[in-house]
Amino acid sequence: MVQFNQAQREITLKVVYYGPALSGKTTNLQMIHQFLDPQARGRLMSLDTADDRTLFFDLLPVFFKSKSGFKVKIKLYTVPGQIMHTSTRRIVLSGADGVVFIADSQRAEAKANNDAWRSMMENLRQNGIAPDSIPIAIQFNKRDLPNVRTDAEIEEIRAKSKEPVFAAVAIRGEGVLETLFALLKLAYRNLNAKYDFEGKFGISEGEFLRSVFKRVSPAVAAQLQSKLGSTREGGPAESGSGPPASSLDVDDPLDDRTTPDGRSKTGGGGAAS
């Protein structure tokens, strides 16, 4: 559930990365953490067992300040994948404003994907969230491995799915931001329809998305821009042939704190406090 704190002018959104064990949920968050400018992110908190499996959840806060002076925090969570943690998954999922479902592309994992998807639907319902009322983006990860579903099969799933579907190699960072971007776009639209984000808080879809994505490193931003193409209000980038890093640098309330390459001048607090 999105939280509004009018007194502190703060808005907090919750996004949950769900999926079977070892599909790459933690890796997605690690990559997002790496890609983002330190000024736009908090510490990635993970609580793992010795075998590197998520015990409760990972948490990565992402934040920015809107032109209208609101502090927007997006909290990215993962769930633990193993069967025994089902009640933990339900608790982490509660109050989510959007879900990224990380599927494992390996053929051998098809059943694990389906089981996780069904458990997610069930957990949403048990949390009082109608599954078709919450934005969901799907990522087929581990495209680099042998014995995975073919691109044609992914395409077929994409054609049938009402959720956006992305292919990814999370360990190389490929497809990670595209997936997050699609989810945030859906989440914004959903929340705007419910709470009139734009009218009440003066945050447009374009500002919302750009505020996050202009904070990725210039090289990554350039790649993203060429993949996502141009979108006027919806994209992380404006159209055109200008230099990628600077074309992402529009309308930023924190611009006076950054140099054109997105690096921090002052290195301190700001929207991060």
Q: Is 146 helix (H, G, I), strand (E, B) or coil?
A: coil
Q: Is 12 helix (H, G, I), strand (E, B) or coil?
A: strand
Which of 12, 14, 39, 54 touches ligand GDP by CB under 6 A?
54
Site string for ligand GDP, 132-171 (x = CB under 6 A): ---------xx-xx-----------------------xxx
Task: Tell me if 54 contacts Mg ion by CB under 5 A.
Answer: yes
* Segment contacting ligand GDP by CB under 6 A, of 5-13, 18-26, 32-40, 119-127: 18-26
Q: Is 75 helix (H, G, I), strand (E, B) or coil?
A: strand
Q: Is 267 helix (H, G, I), strand (E, B) or coil?
A: coil
φ and ψ at residue 60, rounded to 5 degrees: -130, 115
Question: Rounded CA gap, 71 and 64, in Å?
Answer: 6
Position 123, amino acid? N
Cβ distance to ligand GDP smaller for residue 144 or 251: 144
The answer to whether the beta carbons of residues 232 and 240 sit under 8 Å apart is: no
Q: Which residues contact 17 (CB under 8 A, 6 or more apart)?
A: 25, 28, 29, 76, 77, 78, 79, 99, 100, 102
* Segment contacting ligand GDP by CB under 6 A, of 14-22, 34-42, 186-194, 233-241: 14-22
Q: 144 is in the binding site of which of Mg ion, ligand GDP, none (Cβ under 5 to 8 A by kind)?
A: ligand GDP
Task: Tell me if 23 contacts Mg ion by CB under 5 A.
Answer: no
Cβ distance to Mg ion smaller for residue 170 or 183: 170
* Segment contacting Mg ion by CB under 5 A, of 17-25, 162-170, 178-186, 252-260: 17-25
Cβ distance to ligand GDP smaller for residue 22 or 203: 22
